[in-house]
Structure 1
Amino acid sequence: MKLIIAIIQDEDAGEVISKLNKEGFQVTRLATKGGFLRAGNTTLLTGVEEERVQEVMGIIEENSKSRTQYATLPSSCGAMHGFILAPIEVNIGGATVFVVDVDQFKKF
């Protein structure tokens, strides 16, 4: 058994969960926040048999879209006295996925 941990954009979460449920996968949804842009994310947890890992990965990949966004990076030194920080273009979205071995699984 494997535990799949997928960090995706909030905008993609509903569609990913819907597609996973349609294929019979149970999903736990956690509201999370990224550290770089401090934007909302969704972290999905699902336990699957090893032979179905690629099926889950395909659903996540097909339904997690990468986007371009402009953001002003937060300053760690406070106000920049007269300097205006120009927005920078960053790629967001897609998915970050971890697949972890599960030693034991029980459902009570």
Structure 2
Amino acid sequence: MKLVLAIVSNDDSSIVSSALNKEDFQVTRLATTGGFLRAGNTTLIVGVEDDKVDACLEIIGRECKKRTEVVPSTASYDIGRHVSFPVEVPVGGATVFILDVEQFHKL
């Protein structure tokens, strides 16, 4: 058995968890915050049998859309002088960790 930890955008989390549920994967959702943009993310926790890991990854990859967003950025040119300008950054997709599970108990 494997434990899949998938960090996805809040924009994609409902679609991904619904698609996983539709294929009989049980999903736990945790609200998390990303580091770079400090944007809201969702970490999906899925217990998966070894032979179903590829199917789980395929669903996550299919439903997590990569896109770009324009975010404000600032540059400092002098003491007390800051200029704000928009920067386009890639967002979306998924970061996935797959861990071996030694034991699993449903109590």
TM-score for both structures, normalised by structure 2: 0.91
1:44-76 alpha-carbon deviations (Å, 9 max, x no partner): 00001000000000000000000101123478x
**Matched positions, count:** 105
Is 2:53 aligned against 1:19? no
Give the root-mean-square deviation of aligned CA atoms: 1.7
Structure 1 alignment gaps of length 5 or more:
none
Partner deviation per Cα, 1:19-68 (whole Å, 9 max, x = no partner): 11011010000000101100000100000100000000000000000010
Q: Which residue of 2 aligns with 1:92?
A: 91
Contact 1:25 1:46 in 2 (8 A): yes
1:45-60 → structure 2 map (5 Å cutoff) = 45-60=45-60
Q: How far apart in 1 are the matches of 2:60 and 2:22?
A: 13
Query: Can you give the 5+ residue segments of structure 2 that lack an aligned partner in the other structure?
Result: none
> 4+ runs of 1 displaced by more than 2 Å?
72-75
TM-score by length of 1: 0.90
Identity fraction in percent: 51
